[in-house]
């Protein structure tokens, strides 16, 4: 999914992340807690996400508040990842400027050696986030450009308010 966050000053940034889970709490993704998106979320805990299927001319847009997933949930997902992905989590100083590719490869070699004969635990600077939706829009493209847009907006105490939007 495309994830958009903003700095405390309102400067937006968007990137693709893996939507790992969708449940009653919201949309769950995992990342480094020291990267750009984590810094944005720390200072401005709101995000927007887009899931897009070009061939179907469909899109789902979500807005909501973001919170960290529990350490237990982050640990559980981390344990399920392939070993190279676990090591990559340790090796990547995400979003930091690095001198070259060889630097990353050296870090990967170092962590491969460190965890050679033991379980690779989750680093403290990596884990999950949950976007708790306050707005969900379903978009269906139409040849006429009169697209269908249905918005679900969380009301104060009335639950979800369903509205049709003009294309």
- pLDDT digit string (tens) for 22-66? 999 999 999 999 999 999 999 999 999 999 999 999 999 999 999
User: What pTM did the predictor assign?
Assistant: 0.92
Residue 105: pLDDT band with limits 50, 70, 90: very high
Residue 98: pLDDT band with limits 50, 70, 90: very high
Mean pLDDT of the chain: 96
Q: What percent of the chain has pLDDT over 90?
A: 95
Q: Are 135 and 152 in contact (CB under 8 A)?
A: yes
> Taking the domains of the chain in order of start, what are their residue ranges?
2-79+123-165
Region 2-79+123-165: CATH code: 2.30.110.10
Q: Are 42 and 7 in contact (CB under 8 A)?
A: no
DSSP at 131? E
The catalytic residues are: 145
């Amino acid at each position: 999914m495309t994830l958009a966050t903003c700095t405390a000053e309102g400067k937006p940034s968007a990137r693709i992340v893996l939507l790992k889970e969708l449940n009653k709490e919201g949309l769950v993704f995992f990342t480094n807690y020291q990267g750009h998106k984590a810094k944005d979320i720390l200072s401005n805990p709101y995000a927007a996400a887009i899931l897009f299927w070009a061939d179907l001319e469909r899109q789902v847009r979500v807005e909501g508040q973001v919170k960290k997933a529990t350490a237990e949930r982050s640990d559980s997902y981390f344990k399920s990842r392939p070993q190279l992905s676990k090591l990559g989590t340790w090796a990547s100083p995400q979003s930091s400027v690095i001198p070259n590719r060889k630097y990353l490869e050296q870090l990967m070699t170092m962590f491969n050696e460190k965890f050679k004969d033991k379980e690779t635990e989750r680093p403290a600077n990596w884990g999950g986030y949950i976007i708790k939706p306050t707005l969900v829009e379903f978009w269906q493209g139409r040849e006429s450009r009169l697209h269908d847009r249905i918005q679900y907006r969380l009301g104060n105490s009335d639950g979800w308010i369903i509205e049709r939007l003009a294309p």
